[in-house]
Amino acid sequence: MEEDFTFAIIKPNAVRNKHTGPILARINEAGFNIAAMKMLSMSRLQAEAFYDVHRGKPFFDGLVEFMSSGPVVVMILKAENAVEEFRKLIGNTDPAKAEEGTIRRLFAASLQMNAIHGSDSPENARKEAGFFFSGFERFWS
């Protein structure tokens, strides 16, 4: 199968707790290549737009508040079957349900502060990557 990509965010709790390095190491050890990466702080408006699909849900306001609470690391990750393989590596949304050894199981502080985001489809990976990386930064395709 052709190598494709996914989009990921190391969330504010993980950056704050100095888990960026250990998380990046696990991503590389799992066979992903980091094709683009930067650290930035999301505004409330950006966080709202990024999670627009969850607008209206009970956890939306808290999620937006959390995601704009400090620096995050956004990246494009390349691997065969990247979207699916990365979702396996990060584990269930709820860290209590995530398998042993997954990034969320290891580094999440709670269901909301679950350390990392991974796109749920190739279409969303493209859309979400376009949110943070300009045409000049698109090394992945």
Q: Which residues carry out catalysis?
A: 117
Among 93, 109, 122, 126, binds ligand IDP (CB under 6 A): 93
> Who's near 124: CB < 8 A, 6+ residues apart?
7
Nearer to ligand IDP, 44 or 139 (CB): 44
Name the residue with the smallest CB distance to ligand IDP.
93
Which residues sit opposite 37 in a β-bridge?
Answer: 75
Which residues sit opposite 9 in a β-bridge?
Answer: 74, 117
User: Going residue by residue from 50 to 79, which x/- string records binding to ligand IDP, judged by CB under 6 A?
Assistant: ----x----x---x----------------
Q: How far apart are CA 75 and CA 129, in angstroms?
A: 8
Q: Residue 6, interface with ligand IDP (CB under 6 A)?
A: no
